[in-house]
């Protein structure tokens, strides 16, 4: 019998207890022994929940109990999660976390401590919720050189963009509706500004290339400026607009960004709608492989956390190598990244656009007074240098076709 502790009894933490209870027998068979939750750490009490007799408010109780060999961290944020997780590892307890902020900010250090101690720090649920992507990257796609990762990594923004596409509504309107339905937080900044996806692509990229990528180095643009008119242009091109976390290696340089992009129906990520997430990984031998599923939600995320617990129990006192060195990987300056752009300007500057840009493809969405067009592939710097002189510039969205 293995005893574990769960830090944080919110949506994911209570989901972990639910998954362990619901599938207890199957999980015990797969782990090789039964798993019992000995403690739940939370500031609150839960008098109407059978968990109450396991609730503790003092972390030291867990840290000092040698019977606890695995700690599940589902608190979110880095304070106090980082301190508690580090202390758990130093006390010889493996840790399984769903916390992307923690992994993106302190993953390198926590992986190293687990390695030194001969235990494990697992974080399957930190990216893509219930979608298996961390273990596949670390254990299955090991024969390939990863050329590109492209992912819809945030359910809230995918829900909003899907609604905008279907209903022709504006961002603010759909955001309010999403908040009412509980698909967007009261403070939606981390999702709609792309910060959440940024941490997730930083984690995936660190794993894919085996060295630390700082999330602060990744260019991040959210969806707050996307409008109903942009979707009319997208529709005229049989395209849709999604926000992607993207990283790729070209000529030894690593490029990474989070940004909205237009994609067409032949892209396998085109039909990933609503709160679903999907990640397309391109290997030099394997080609494209796609992972699809629920990127958030209580049971789905908890299922991924419990899969880590099973792995931790199967590897008690044996470190599973995670290829993620402390050595920092430089991300190439955004100016050097090559992209194709969809651009909207006032009709009065149409001829100037035709002169200034090498080759342009007009896009007609029937919107009066403006000119929409696609550029050819060019560096971000070249694009910005040209567009800076346009007085009627409205917007630009990168194009993934």
Is residue 129 within the footprint of ligand HSE (CB under 6 A)?
Answer: yes
Is residue 156 within the footprint of ligand HSE (CB under 6 A)?
Answer: yes
Contact assessment for residue 113 and residue 90, using Cβ atoms and an 8 Å cutoff: yes
Query: The tokens of 122 are what?
Result: 């697992």
Q: What is the rounded CA–CA span in Å between residue 118 and residue 152? A: 34
* Binding piece for ligand HSE, criterion CB under 6 A, among 150-158, 206-214, 224-232, 374-382: 150-158
Give the residues across from 249 on adjacent strands. Answer: 254
Is residue 124 within the footprint of ligand HSE (CB under 6 A)?
Answer: no
Q: Which of 13, 155, 194, 222 binds ligand HSE (CB under 6 A)?
A: 155
Length of the chain: 401
Q: What is the rounded CA–CA span in Å between residue 401 and residue 319? A: 42
Exactly one of 38, 93, 163, 200 is catalytic; name it: 200
Nearest approach in angstroms of CB 11 to ligand HSE is 10
Nearest approach in angstroms of CB 296 to ligand HSE is 4
Contact assessment for residue 269 and residue 150, using Cβ atoms and an 8 Å cutoff: yes
Is residue 296 within the footprint of ligand HSE (CB under 6 A)?
Answer: yes
Nearer to ligand HSE by C-beta: 152 or 281?
152
Give the residues across from 148 on adjacent strands. Answer: 248, 282
Is residue 223 within the footprint of ligand HSE (CB under 6 A)?
Answer: no
Report cis status (omega within 30 of 0) of the bond before 54.
Answer: no
Q: What is the rounded CA–CA span in Å between residue 244 and residue 187? A: 21
Contact assessment for residue 164 and residue 171, using Cβ atoms and an 8 Å cutoff: yes
Q: Which of 42, 124, 191, 349 binds ligand HSE (CB under 6 A)?
A: 191
* Binding piece for ligand HSE, criterion CB under 6 A, among 70-78, 110-118, 151-159, 212-220: 151-159
Nearest approach in angstroms of CB 370 to ligand HSE is 32
Nearer to ligand HSE by C-beta: 237 or 304?
304
Is residue 295 within the footprint of ligand HSE (CB under 6 A)?
Answer: yes
* Binding piece for ligand HSE, criterion CB under 6 A, among 18-26, 153-161, 344-352, 367-375: 153-161
Query: The tokens of 268 are what?
Result: 């396998």
Q: Where are the beta strands (DSSP E) in 251-331?
A: 253-264, 276-283, 287-294, 325-328
Active site residue 200: yes
Query: The tokens of 82 are what?
Result: 């980082």
Contact assessment for residue 35 and residue 305, using Cβ atoms and an 8 Å cutoff: no
Is residue 73 within the footprint of ligand HSE (CB under 6 A)?
Answer: no
Contact assessment for residue 301 and residue 124, using Cβ atoms and an 8 Å cutoff: no
Nearest approach in angstroms of CB 219 to ligand HSE is 20
Nearer to ligand HSE by C-beta: 155 or 222?
155
Q: Which of 101, 196, 311, 349 binds ligand HSE (CB under 6 A)?
A: 196
**Phi, psi of 380, rounded to the nearest 5 degrees:** -60, -40
Active site residues: 200
Binding site for ligand HSE (CB under 6 A): 129, 154-156, 191, 196, 295-296
């Amino acid at each position: 019998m293995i005893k574990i502790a769960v830090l944080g009894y919110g949506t994911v933490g209570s989901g972990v207890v639910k998954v362990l209870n619901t599938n207890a027998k199957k999980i015990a068979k797969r782990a090789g022994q039964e798993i019992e939750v000995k403690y739940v750490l939370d500031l609150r009490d839960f008098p109407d929940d059978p968990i109450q007799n396991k609730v503790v408010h003092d972390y030291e109780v867990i840290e000092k109990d040698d019977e606890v060999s695995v700690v599940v961290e589902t608190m979110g944020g880095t304070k106090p999660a980082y301190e508690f997780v580090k202390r758990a590892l130093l006390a010889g307890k493996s840790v399984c976390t769903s916390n992307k902020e923690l992994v993106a900010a302190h993953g390198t250090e926590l992986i190293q401590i687990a390695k030194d101690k001969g235990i494990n720090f697992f974080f399957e649920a930190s990216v893509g919720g219930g979608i298996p992507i961390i273990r596949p990257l670390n254990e299955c796609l090991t024969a390939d050189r990863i050329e590109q990762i492209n992912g819809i990594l945030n359910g809230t923004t995918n829900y909003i963009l899907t609604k905008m596409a279907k209903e022709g509504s504006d961002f603010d309107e759909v955001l309010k509706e999403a908040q009412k339905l509980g698909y967007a937080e009261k403070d939606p900044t981390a999702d709609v500004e792309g910060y959440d996806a940024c941490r997730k692509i930083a984690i995936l990229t660190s794993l894919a290339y085996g060295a630390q990528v700082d999330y602060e180095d990744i260019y991040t643009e959210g969806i707050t400026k996307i409008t109903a008119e942009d979707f009319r242009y997208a529709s005229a091109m049989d395209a849709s607009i999604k926000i992607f976390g993207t990283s790729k290696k070209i000529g030894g340089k690593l490029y990474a960004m989070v940004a909205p992009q237009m994609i067409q129906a032949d892209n396998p990520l085109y039909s990933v709608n609503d709160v679903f997430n999907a990640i397309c990984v391109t290997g030099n031998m394997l080609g494209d492989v796609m992972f699809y599923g629920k990127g958030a939600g209580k049971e789905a995320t908890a299922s991924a956390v419990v899969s880590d617990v099973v792995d931790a129990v199967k590897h008690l006192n044996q470190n599973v190598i995670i290829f993620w060195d402390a050595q920092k990987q430089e991300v190439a300056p955004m100016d050097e990244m090559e992209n194709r752009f969809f651009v909207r300007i006032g009709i009065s500057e149409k001829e100037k656009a035709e002169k200034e840009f090498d080759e342009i493809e007009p896009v007609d969405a029937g919107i009066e007074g403006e000119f929409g067009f696609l550029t050819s592939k060019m560096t971000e710097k070249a694009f910005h240098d040209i567009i800076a002189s346009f007085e009627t510039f409205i917007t630009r969205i990168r194009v993934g076709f």
